[in-house]
Structure 1
Amino acid sequence: MRIAIEAQRIFRPYKHGMDFVALEAIRELQKRDDGNEYYIIVAPGKDRCLENSKNLSIIELKCPTYFLWEQIGLPRIVKQLKVDLLHCTSNTAPIQCPVPLVLTLHDIIYLEPRQHRSPSLYQEMGWYYRRWIVPRILKKAKKIITVSHFECNRIQQALNIPSECITAVYNGYSTHFHQQEVDVNIVHKYIPETDFLFFLGNTDPKKNTARTLKAYSIYLQQSTIKRPLLIADLKEEYVDSLLQQENITNIKPYLYHPGYINNSDLATLYNAAFVFLYPSLRESFGIPMLEAMACGTPIITGNTSAMPEVAGPGALTINPYKPKEIADAILRLETNSTMYQQQQNYGLERVNFFSWKQTANELADVYKNILL
């Protein structure tokens, strides 16, 4: 089979969730000796994180805007390549596709009611674009892939998708996330301490940053250790605005917010962290939970959406709308060494259920079944 895979943004230096999902799955497909030819269609970028091989060809496509890239350039080059199938990996796809289409729909958060506008014009335009295009694409896709059974059921119910048209394929996690000696030089690039709480947030309201900061202020009031909090992917001015909003500016000396953290450094930070906080309001999967658990770091995560499904029945889950529950969970781990060890062991066992190799195998099965 000749398979085209859209992975527009995997060459950009500052990758985010969907970029890594596409990249890691493609790397595993590249390792397969299945007779398929894979054509990876990308936008030019500085991070050449994927190379051509016997079964994989990288096709760079330049276009001035995302819309033109996806709606004009992508279907045109797919037709030129004479492939059997196109897999679009990041929620959207061309409305007019010259070959059978597989769509990975990570979530439908942008079709659900929201509390706030997006923090930037680019994100706001993307929100409207997805709302407009996703319902139109779903009618034409041969198969819809999503990343958890929670999301699968949610999409089916919200968009009236027949069960045979959609399937759940779990994400994996990169094997460079594992228990290892902590390189303090890497840690000190981001925080002067080597024992801290770690929160991976962004400006998306679903990441629950304001309540997490409120929970941390409660933790500081009750803890005798008072571990500092490392916050990834947030700028100081945004953090400051939330501290003022919650009237907790007194906790600022305990906070470190270096901005974007290189993926290559994350494993070291997970290993150094006392606990990883992931109290999101809404997730379709939650790869960072697996990364932290694979490094032997206990997690505290929300009891909503797909997080309990991925984290499993033994994980420490809380109501993410209640800051005191988040704080109490941190304090329990801090004061109960037996519980802390149990959570470490549980996480290391849980991650064995997930791998990018398994993800790639299931994707290949989807392709094969469509073209039978």
Structure 2
Amino acid sequence: MKIGIEGQRLFRKNKHGMDFVTLELIHGLQQIDRRNEYVIFIQPDSDICIEEIANFKIQAFSSLAYPAWEQWALPRIAAKERVDILHCTSNTAPIWSSIPQILTLHDVIFLEKPQTTGSSKNWYQRFGNQYRKAIVPTVAQRCQMIITVSNYEREQILKTLPLPQGKLKVVYNGVSRRFKQIQNKRELINIKEKYRLPKKFILFLGNTDLKKNLKGVLLAYSIFVENSETVIQLVIVDLKQKYLSEVLKELNLPGLQEHIVLPGYIPNRDLPAVYNLSDLFLYPSLRESFGLPVLEAMACGVPVIASNTSSMPEVAGDAALLVDPKDALLLANDIGAMLSHNNLRQRMIRKGFRQAERFSWQNTAEQVLQIYENTSKSRVTRMAA
């Protein structure tokens, strides 16, 4: 069997969630499958993070814009490569393709009412949402199989799209083995100096997407600061100073700026050390389909506070403090409790290690490979009928 995998953005320098899921899946498949052939379709860029091996070929090609790359160039080049199955990994796929397609649909947030999670001020994200709205309902009907990442998201998809239940499979994400407790003190010191991190800090992976709940975190942190004798700084990753200043002004909290550190975008290779250096990880999103950073922090031995909404109770289990993300006072109280009560911290850290161990990329790869094989068998059966 010859399998095509769409990984359009994998070579870009600043990767995000779906990119890493696809990258780890490919690495997992390289470990377990030497029998089938693979072609990875990628947009050329600077971060060459996948190596070709005997049965894995990289096919890099460019296009002026992502819709043209996916809708026009990808199906044609995949057909020339004579792949038997095309796995599109990031919510969208070609509408017209002669090749049986499998789609990973991470979420359907873009099809939900705007007031559920809000809409981003980022034009790129707004365009992406409109593109997905236009493409996904049609593609979902035409794909042979759809993979999603949690039982919560499966239910959301079935509420939103008229799909037969057997067409939608849940395959959990995994946690890379790189996310672990780091004993090398020099490595930790180097990362601390590289990003000018404080000695003690609370870590929050924020960005301009309103579902990440930046305003809720800032309100809760302001309450925590006001009621704390010793202030622990808040480190917010992947956020620009201008945007933070605007939000703080809107919340009437300009003085909070002196307690916040903005290291910018942190590459995935440095994140394990950043988690290790932190005292607490916050992930009180308004809406998530999985929540991989929750497990990454747990694997690094960091206590976690997450939301009691969407997929996060499913992923975190009882290994995190779960809080209503819209209740800033409760979140502030949980921050104070986690930082001041050592017995609670140690209990959550132990539970976190056990929870993170339940999720591996090898298991993810094995389940996806089984879906490839089942889809191929179904195709052969239909052709023989």
TM-score by length of 1: 0.98
Structure 1 residues 184-333: aligned runs within 5 Å: 184-333=189-338
Deviations 1:57-106, CA, capped at 9 Å, x for gaps: 00001111111100110000111011110000000000011111100000
Give the corresponding residue for 1:43: 43
Shift in Å, 1:259: 1.4
1:85-129 deviation digits (Å, cap 9, x = unpaired): 000000000001111110000000000112444323222221111
| Matching residue's letter, 1:141 | C
Letter of the 1:170 partner, please give it: Y
In structure 2, distance between residues paired with 1:344 and 1:155: 33
Change (3 A) 1:211 1:55: same
Query: Which ranges in structure 1 are unaligned for 5 or more consecutive residues?
Result: none
- Work out the CA distance in 1 between the residues paired with 2:240 and 2:26: 32
Q: Following the alignment from structure 2 to structure 1, what is the Cα–Cα distance between the partners of residues 120 and 373?
A: 39
Give the AA of the match of 1:240.
S
More displaced 10-residue stretch of structure 1: 329-338 or 20-29: 329-338
| Pair 1:364–1:204, CA change in 2 (3 A) | same
Query: Which shifted more, 298-307 or 174-183?
Result: 174-183
| Inter-partner Cα distance in structure 2 for 1:223 and 1:346 | 27
- Secondary structure at 1:188's aligned position in 2? helix
Matched, 1:141 2:146: no
8 Å CA contact 2:94, 2:139 repeated in 1:
yes
Note the C-alpha offset of 1:34: 4.6
Match among 111, 122, 145 for residue 120 of structure 1: 122
Q: What does residue 383 of structure 2 align with?
A: none
After superposition, residues 153-172 of structure 1 pair within 5 angstroms as: 153-172=155-174
CA contact (8 A) 2:86 2:99 kept: yes
1:362 is matched with which residue: 363, 367, 371?
A: 367
Change (3 A) 1:192 1:165: closer
Q: 1:100 to 1:339 in 2, by over 3 A?
A: same
Corresponding residue of 1:150: 152
- Give the whole-Å Cα distance in 2 for the aligned partners of 1:73 and 1:93: 12
Contact 2:318/2:351 (<8 A) preserved? no
Identity of aligned residues (%): 45
Q: What whole-Å deviation, never above 9, does each CA across 1:307-358 have from its counterpart, x for those lacking one?
A: 1100013421000001111111111112211011001101011011101111
Match of residue 90 from structure 2: 90
Aligned amino acid, residue 160 of structure 1: P
Do structure 1's residue 52 and structure 2's residue 52 form an aligned pair?
yes
Residue pair 1:282, 1:304 contacting (<8 A) in 2 also:
yes
**How far off its partner does 1:216 sit?**
0.4
Residue aligning to 1:103: 103
The number of residues matched between the two structures is: 372
Q: Which amino acid aligns with 1:140?
A: R
Instruction: Measure the CA separation in 1 of the matches of 2:114 and 2:177.
Output: 35
Q: Match of 2:131? A: 129
1:68 aligns with: 68
Q: Give the secondary structure class of the aligned counterpart of 2:204.
A: strand
For 2:124, give the aligned amino acid.
Y
Compute the displacement of 1:192 (Å): 4.1
Q: Is the 8 A contact 2:325 2:331 kept in 1?
A: yes
Structure 2 gap ranges (5+): 378-385
User: Which of 290-299 and 262-271 deviates more?
Assistant: 262-271
Match of residue 352 from structure 1: 357
Deviations 1:133-161 (A, max 9, x none): 00010110100000000001110121121
Range 185-194 or range 319-328, more displaced = 185-194
Measure the CA separation in 1 of the matches of 2:195 and 2:293. 18
- Paired with 1:339 and 1:74, the residues of 2 have a C-alpha distance of 51
Distance in 2 separating the partners of 1:192 and 1:67? 39
Runs of 4+ in structure 1 over 6 Å off: none
TM-align CA RMSD:
1.1
Distance 1:225 1:78 in 2: 58
Mapped partners of 1:191, 1:113: distance in 2: 40
Secondary structure of the residue aligned to 1:177 is coil
Which residue in the other structure is 1:3 paired with?
A: 3
Counterparts of 1:120 and 1:253, CA distance in 2:
25
In structure 1, distance between residues paired with 2:366 and 2:197: 42
